[in-house]
């Protein structure tokens, strides 16, 4: 578990509600709030369908109809300019400039997000040409080689096509693309789910190392609570579209306040005890029954 003491916020999310305007409207996220501190890894945990990715898309303004941000605010406290950016108020061109340069995202299933008919170098170059037009061709190639090196991929792979890379290398390329413009915030949606445990461990080490070197903040989304306990400074737990608990990883592990959080903790086997090592004498099941009664 991380023991970060960072306190300066880079991103403030307040009372964000996302509704899917179908025939029978569905509230996928309800009044979600959190602060993300500079250089912090904030874990976002919860079971599949609880609203984690929907909230991440709201922060990055990526929703398409019928999804709609019904209320709330998302503010980036830009360290470069010293100003606050109201993300939900940005126009299309402003939003295009904001994404990747201020806030980037590694999407769920990112290993398959690369264009199969274009080289890695061409795809990194596209991002730089779109967002850093002041760079000439040589500078763009140097920058692409630099970010690949940072994530542990040889610059020789700039000429490679996605099918020539392993799953772990494709994931590293996607992380390199997300950090290409040195954003202040990076959202990672289940970035290691499809990888084997050894490669997953290597990727996680790289993420923590890069965070320490470059001081960007990370929102790390996963259903794997033990993984978040290991790498996160703080963790927000979601259930049914609501953030039910937010605390430091240490406090969440030792003194989880919400019965759902304790249920999540108790659902993972212990290396030194029984599968339900965190659950004591059925007390949790009784609490959950009372809560939902």
Selected residue with higher pLDDT from 108 and 32: 32
Across the beta sheet with 83-86, the strand order is 26-37, 9-20, 67-78, 83-86
* Local confidence band at 290 (pLDDT 50, 70, 90 cut-offs): low
pLDDT of residue 270: 61
From CA 210, how far away is CA 216, in angstroms rounded? 8
pLDDT of residue 198: 86
pLDDT of residue 283: 41
Domain spans of the chain, in order of start: 1-102+183-256, 117-180, 258-293
- Residue 281 pLDDT > 70: no
Can you tell me the mean pLDDT for 127-133? 94
Let me know if domain 1-102+183-256 sits in CATH 3.40.50.150: no
Average pLDDT, the chain: 89
pLDDT of residue 167: 87
pLDDT of residue 215: 92
- Residue 107 pLDDT > 90: no
Selected residue with higher pLDDT from 112 and 232: 232
31: left (phi over 0), alpha (psi -120 to 50) or beta: left
pLDDT of residue 195: 79
Please check whether residue 225 is in contact with residue 250, taking contact to mean a CB–CB distance below 8 angstroms. no
pLDDT tens readout for residues 24-61: 999 999 999 999 999 999 999 999 999 999 999 999 99
* Local confidence band at 238 (pLDDT 50, 70, 90 cut-offs): very high
pLDDT of residue 282: 40
* Local confidence band at 285 (pLDDT 50, 70, 90 cut-offs): very low
- Residue 123 pLDDT > 80: yes
* Local confidence band at 253 (pLDDT 50, 70, 90 cut-offs): very high
- Cα separations (Å) of 18 from 36, 65, 70, 71? 20, 11, 6, 7
From CA 130, how far away is CA 134, in angstroms rounded? 10
Evaluated on CA atoms 146, 151, 155, 159, the torsion sign reads negative
pLDDT of residue 1: 55
From CA 276, how far away is CA 117, in angstroms rounded? 48
pLDDT of residue 199: 85
């Amino acid at each position: 578990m991380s023991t970060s003491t960072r306190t300066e916020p880079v991103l403030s999310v307040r009372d964000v509600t996302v509704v899917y305007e179908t025939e029978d409207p569905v509230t996928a996220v309800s009044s979600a709030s959190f602060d993300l501190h500079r250089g912090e890894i904030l874990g976002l945990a919860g079971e599949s369908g609880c609203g984690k990715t929907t909230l991440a898309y709201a922060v990055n303004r990526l929703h398409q109809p019928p999804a709609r941000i019904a209320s709330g605010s998302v503010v980036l406290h830009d360290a470069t300019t010293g100003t606050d950016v109201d993300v939900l108020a940005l126009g299309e061109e402003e939003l295009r400039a904001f994404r990747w340069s201020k806030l980037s995202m590694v999407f769920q299933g990112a290993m398959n997000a690369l264009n199969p008919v274009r080289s890695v170098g061409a795809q990194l170059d596209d991002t730089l040409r779109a967002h850093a037009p002041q760079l000439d061709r040589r500078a763009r190639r140097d920058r692409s080689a630099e970010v690949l090196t940072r994530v542990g991929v040889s610059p020789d792979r700039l000429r490679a096509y996605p099918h020539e890379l392993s799953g772990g290398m494709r994931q590293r390329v996607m992380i390199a693309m997300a950090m290409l413009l040195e954003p202040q915030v990076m959202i990672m949606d289940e970035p290691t789910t499809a990888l084997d445990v050894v490669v997953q461990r290597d990727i996680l080490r790289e993420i923590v190392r890069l965070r320490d070197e470059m001081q960007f903040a990370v929102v790390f989304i996963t259903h794997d609570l033990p993984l978040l306990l290991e790498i996160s400074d703080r963790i927000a737990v979601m259930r049914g579209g609501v953030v039910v608990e937010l605390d430091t990883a240490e406090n969440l592990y030792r003194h989880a306040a919400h019965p759902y959080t304790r249920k999540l903790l108790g659902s993972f086997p212990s290396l030194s005890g029984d599968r339900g090592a965190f659950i004591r004498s059925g007390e949790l099941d009784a609490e959950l029954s009372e809560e939902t009664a």
